[in-house]
Structure 1
Amino acid sequence: MSEQVRKVKLKVSPAVARVVAAGAPRDVKLAAAKAALPLDGRDLVTVLFLFAYGKDEELKELARGTVRELPAGILQALIADDGTHPQLLDFLARFRMRDLALMEQLLIHPNLPDATLLHVARQADGTVVSLIANNAERLIGCPDLVDAIFANPKVDKAVKYRLGWVDPEKKQEPAAQQKVAPAGAEDEDEDEDFGEIEELDDDDLPKSKYQLLLTFGVSDKIKMALTGDKEWRSLLVKDPNKLVCSAVLKNPRITEGEVLAIARNRSSNDELIRLITLNREWVKNYEIRKALVMHPRTPLPKALRYMATLSEKELKELAKSRNVSQVIVNNARRMLMAKEKRR
């Protein structure tokens, strides 16, 4: 970490420069490392960061001890700023990992590096890690986070199960495959020469994508959902794990035809439907909007809004449909009556 940090270009204020300069008085540096100088929150954290990863051992120990004890109020304004440097956020995350209120604010910061999240997921206690586990956007953006959470023994099993973890202690060994001789084999002529047949291990046989999928962990499935071809997407969009199937919709190669198929599938879960409604380009497609109106998991306000763009023919079908909610049926009837009055 220290080697990495020393290479970071960090713009500092004149106040910080005066403290950390090579020629700055020793007593000034020591006072700053103890937070005994009148510096604002950002400047103070910057000074502590530079000392904490510097070569001076005394300043390093003082700065690390100080950042652990600083009042949370001093740090909250810095964390609330979207422009805060990623390495300052990393610094605070590593040394304030037990501060739940601070970590709750820190872990959703847009500039927080994935490497920091991985470190926290591996090292923090279960309560803090559960904050990461609840952030589906970051889990899909960095699938290795799922493995890091699974590997952390301090995380509650319920949190892991929710992400698709399988307890290794409960895994059953696959039943040994027995070779059964075909009926009547004992009656075969022993002298008949059938030639030599080479036996192939399972690993030597070509595997379908479905068979490969059975060997994947959650993070591997997310990665494939984000990058795989249409066949992979069609398999993974059906995965019961919402992180996995949601990642399919973030695949840059997904087509509107595939999105339409998901919107028309009444078994598509609420997260898939929510993500479709959030994509402005997709909802410009008339057929997708129509499918969303008819889908039972589309949020009602959205469905009602999309109805305003449907044709009279579609509204007549909805007014008689038994496959949509009564609210949709009633709204379709009201819209048709309004159209009649305007004629």
Structure 2
Amino acid sequence: MHPIVDRFIQGQLPEPMAMALAGGALPVPAPDLLAALAHAILKETPYADRAIGALEALPESVLAGVVLTPVDPPSGLQIILCHRKEPALLEAALLNPALTAEIVEASIPSMPGSVLEIVLNNQVLWMQRPRILDLLEEHPEGEYVIKRRVNEFRFEVLRLVPEEVKQERLEIIDEVEAGHLDRAWAELPLPKEKTREEEEAEAESEELAAERRLLAQKPLLDEEGNEINLTLTQRIARLRTNQKIILALKGGKEERTILIREANRLIQVNVIRNGRITEGEIAYIAQMRTVNEEVLRIISNTREWMKKYTITKNLVMNPRTPLPIAMTHFKRLLESDMKLLVKDRNVPEILRREAKRLVEGKAQGRG
């Protein structure tokens, strides 16, 4: 290190020279100047403000040349990360071999959002200092994808599971082993934050939301009229979206009956893709007015299900069924059900009109 910088760090440099050095006015090599400025700023010396001004005034090209090789001492990287905003310069500093987890942790609050992903991708650093993940999540300029990946890393890499989650997990395993819960519960992953797709899938119209609230006030019944276990209902309500999606795909009859009432499209779709679902459940779902249209489309496109008259009838009579689907299948209805369709003011007018025309045509043919 340059003798002048060494004396400055040791506190042995006369004040006029120290002021000049902190202001960047002495002819010392750029790496040594960076070390002097870092000492002045991070040690909160009387020259700190002057040193910050000098650092901000240094050309980007000068600092870029310094960070191309390992910076010694690495504290110079911290003041660059905290007081400079050029993305290319910050990226070079974050990729410098001398960078430490302590420096990253201290610098994140000052970094612009554009470079946070570089920090997130350096697993070595945040595995040493998990607090880095918290700071990334709290950063005001952090994008949604950053915060989602932070949560994934917490659970999948660091296994940082909250104590209450651990306890609930043990309770679930105990209940599965005791035969009180379907085996699928034992395979649920740890909870995660909702993805953007999951959030969008939960959007629903005000009309459907009102109908769902009304249904929530009534006892929860399955398609045979049996009341669902309240404890199971409460347990499912505590699950995160990704857990509900997996439970919908693998769970038993009671779980499917509860989950098909969820607003989330992905959960509903996975319920009817469950390999254990019965035709009776499909018939029940086909007449539900709170299911997503995609669920009804999947039912209508499954030939084996549509061979069952009850499923076809429920699908046609459901006001939620897309009109093209209802128009395709309504002619299969029995005459008695066709007459009911004609009188049903909840279904589209064009469907009732076509049903009426068909009924009248058959009546004339008999005459």
Q: TM-score range by the shorter chain?
A: 0.3 to 0.5
Identify the structure with the greater helix proportion. Answer: 2
Scaled by the length of structure 1, the TM-score of the pair is 0.42
Scaled by the length of structure 2, the TM-score of the pair is 0.39
Name the larger-Rg structure.
Answer: 2
